Chains A and B, each alone.
Chain A
Amino acid sequence: MSTYSRRRFVQMGSLASASFFVPKFLKAFERKAIAENKILVVLQLSGGNDGLNTVIPYNNDIYYASRPVLGIKKNDVLQMDDEQGLHPALKGLKALYDNGEMALLNGVGYPNPNRSHFRSMDIWQSASDSETVINTGWIGRYLDAQCLHADKPTLTMEIDDTLSLALKGKNNTGIAVNKPKQFYGDSHDSYFKAILQKHPVNDEHLNVDYLYKTLAESMSSADYIYQQSKIYKSNVSYPNTNIGKDLKTIAELINSHIDTKIYYVSLSGFDTHVNQHPQQQRLFTDMSDSINAFVKDLKSSNRFKDVMLMTFSEFGRRVGQNASGGTDHGTANCMFLVSGVLKKQGILNAAPDLTDLDQGDLKYQVDFKDVYATMLHNWLKTDDANILNRKNNYLNFI
């Protein structure tokens, strides 16, 4: 008899029916409709996606010479212009491109690139430069800037069980939700409710009150998200994969007019040192079909005009293939932007210059922080310099 079920007792307990009370310092979270409700969806491709086999310079001899086995044949490429085309598995993205709903940024990166997964991911998520370590994420700092009193805990949301650095601010953190129903169930434990209710209100600066505040926020958010998630059920069929389900969850939340402005979601498996072809084929099919379903869903509810989806990966891969049918860690990479209201569509800048390499790696043309700045300033209408702590150049796709 070393274990027992607390839940079983709780069902019989008198407190199970106690009403849910939020301490005074929390108030009820006010859920006002946001006037201009533009939404950003960030799709992280974890592992370092091979950009040169994503957007293929199909008329470039250096490309084929560097990749005698891995190079994608000209006839298989989904051609965009007479220089570049998409990987054959990216049919969904190609359709968006043809509709003027997709834009491509080539050669996105940062100075002194780091080829370690975890460090480079840190740099992208914290929006730091290569030499500085910052313990907050760029979306977390956006949250800090938006809500001084944590009045909108669901403003930024990651679709996952755990929260990425990107969504951690100094004073506020985003919320991680994998499945709204499960999150609701886990947080609405009647014992948790009861201790929250009994907690005496004290000085907010003490850690114990910080913890209670976080607990109250989680429960309130879980409740809100779960209730909202029931409002709209998608009719569109998505791939039965993690990313398919995640994007479906996001579409349903967007269509139920929840107050979330930034969604964060990731797809992993892009670290293709070995046998790259079948892996990229599978991942791209999954990604492209999921994004396509997502767009269809948003169009059906007339919300595509309010949504911008952006993809990134912590680095691209080396120009030359390796000896194992794969590619090793590289530097600059492409990013896709998907939206119904792109000011500039299609290919936004020149293809990577394969004649001008840095020790076999691409040189970056666009600093990723300028892409973030454009999203923050032109799309989310906020003070990007403050969040990114630098003076930025805006790009012209919004």
Chain B
Amino acid sequence: MGISNEKLQHLSWRAGFGQLTSAKEPDLQKLVRNLIRHNHTKPDAISTQESVELVQNNYTYSQIKADASLRKLIAQKNRDGIKNLNILWLKEMFTTNRPLREKMSLFWHGHFACRVQNVSHQEKLLQIIRENALGNFGDLLTAVSKSASMLAFLNNQQNKKQHANENFGREVMELFTMGRGNYTEKDVKEGSRAFTGWAFNKEGDFVFRQNVHDDGQKTFLGKTGNFDGDDILKILLEHKATAHHITEKIYRFVVNDTPDEQLIADLAEKFYHSNYHIGNLLETIFTADWFYDKKNIGARIKSPVELIVGMERKVPATFANDNALLLFQRTLGQVLFYPPNVAGWPGGKDWIDSSTLLYRMRLPQIVYASEEFNIRPKPMPEEMDNSYTSSNIHDDLQKKEFMNRAYKNKVKVTANWDAFLDKFTAISSEALPKAVADDLLVNLPQIVNTSLLEKYAVAYNHPTEIKKMAVNLMSTPEYQLC
């Protein structure tokens, strides 16, 4: 007895990016437990050259304030740094043998959506998320809320006793914990008062500024006291609405876009009583019979990042210029560290429109069959800012020309098919469509018109036949699902 291929495929996609390295364990409970326990060691931080340099240079505020060209340099370093951070994290997802950690980090990256142009701050936030992705939600929430990135993004530096800024307080309640409908505007006001003084220093470390903190009495969700920010987070965690909100979001991410109210209520109850242990919640889900119900298998539309990572984990491709990976993210509508707004990526059907679906289906051909990449994504708002990108009109034009060239080129890439081919060399041409489809798709009943696949994969030798089969299967609507 072992675990059926269908179950394994399903688990491998929901607990990772489609390829579990530890899938040999025949017992499902043990396999899941191992997947979660695996992650007890702290991950190494992902660090960019740019942030190292910026930390070393340690410019003072007055230096920066006095020197426009220095400001420009720092802004450029931060932008390049975030691009590199994006690529480094993506590559970690390609190769990690802890896929569940990165998968859940991707979830929290969307949950705690944050868009700031400071690479050191973003590195720290990413590390907080990766360290706590499967740990205790309260720890994660507190660390994220005290990160320079989030405090800056939600304007808490401007939240002072004399002049409140409620952005941070509101989003902590609406997005991070309880969700809308569980608190009043008065609670937002009172909660925000408690967060006054939460700030960060030049090194990006949390500081509590007593002099701007409102230490008066607050009444928050029915409790009264001289609350500070930590108290507010504690009170939010005491409310079951928080457990429910988080559970529902995780359910939608790892089980099904369409929530099942009864299941979610049960899971939330358990989550709450485990003191918000994320790993335990996932273990319960991944070992439940209902998790493997037909209606959950292949029910989710992969996010662009999941799609790219999934392809890379099947057939690793090395790009001559890693910017290609950014270009794919932009074209498909999900760029790490650039969520569309405070609520993160909506996901589900929102990933799909006429153009993104066609690009998704052409992507395997662009990467593995050198088809031309003729798409130009929109510039990102951060790139429009000409105070950083160009000092004059000529720079601007040159940049545009460069972009034109880059987008019209074929993407230079080397694919390593060895491991993939090894799995199928012994399989006859007749059995190939079914075998490759088994390996690449999770929702078999839907697909596989074997005669069609055969027709489109006719080749002069077996390896080429396998490759064609694989690329054609990746170029299907079914492959967009997991």
Chain A residues packing against B (C-beta within 8 Å): 1-7, 9-10, 13-15, 46-47, 116-119, 121-122, 131, 133, 135, 153, 160-165, 168, 173-176, 178, 182, 186-187, 189, 191-192, 194-195, 198-200, 202, 206-208, 210-212, 214-215, 217-218, 221, 266, 268-275, 278-279, 282, 323-324, 326
Contact = CB atoms under 8 A, between A and B. Distances in A.
Contact of B365 (A6, A119, A199, A323): A6
Given A192-B475, A207-B299, A212-B477, 11 more contacts: A7-B371, A46-B384, A162-B356, A163-B355, A178-B376, A186-B358, A186-B362, A211-B352, A211-B481, A214-B353, A215-B358
Contacts of B376: 161, 178
The dominant DSSP class at the A interface is mixed
Contacts of B370: 3, 5
Contact of B355 (A176, A266, A271, A279): A176
A272 B386 contact: yes
Given A173-B353, A173-B354, A271-B385, A162 B452 contact: no
Interface stretch (B84-92, B259-267, B390-398): B390-398
Nearest to A275: B392
B68 A218 contact: no
A275 B393 CA distance: 8
Interface of B: 68, 115, 170, 257, 298-301, 330-331, 333, 340-343, 346, 349-350, 352-358, 361-362, 365, 368-371, 374-382, 384-387, 390-393, 396, 414-417, 443, 446, 449, 452, 455-456, 458-459, 463-464, 467-468, 471-472, 475-478, 480-481
Contact of B472 (A174, A191, A207, A266): A191
Contacts of B386: 269, 271-275, 279, 326
B349 A207 contact: yes
Nearest to B166: A131
Contacts of A135: 343, 346, 350
A146 B481 CA distance: 29
Given A268-B384, A275-B392, A195 B353 contact: no
Given A15-B456, A121-B381, A208-B298, A269 B349 contact: no
Contacts of A191: 456, 472, 475
- The 10 A-B pairs of least Cβ separation, nearest first, read A117-B381, A273-B387, A211-B477, A218-B354, A173-B353, A118-B381, A271-B384, A47-B384, A176-B355, A135-B346
B368 to A, nearest CB: 7
A13 B454 CA distance: 11
Contacts of A10: 456
Contacts of A162: 330-331, 333, 355-356, 375, 377-378
A268 B68 contact: no
Given A3-B368, A118-B115, A133-B341, A217 B354 contact: yes
B455 A14 contact: yes
B293 to A, nearest CB: 14
Contact of A4 (B340, B414, B468): B468
B365 A15 contact: no
A49 to B, nearest CB: 11
A266 B375 CA distance: 16
Contact of B393 (A131, A174, A278): A278
A240 to B, nearest CB: 14
20 contacts: A5-B370, A6-B365, A9-B468, A122-B341, A135-B350, A161-B331, A161-B376, A163-B355, A168-B353, A173-B352, A176-B355, A186-B358, A189-B362, A191-B456, A195-B476, A207-B257, A210-B352, A211-B480, A271-B387, A273-B385
B13 to A, nearest CB: 14
A380 B125 CA distance: 47
A199 B446 CA distance: 8
Nearest to A164: B378
Nearest to B471: A6
A288 B300 CA distance: 46
Given A1-B464, A191-B456, A279-B386, A198 B358 contact: no
Nearest to B361: A192
A254 B475 CA distance: 34
Contacts of A212: 477
Contacts of B472: 6, 191
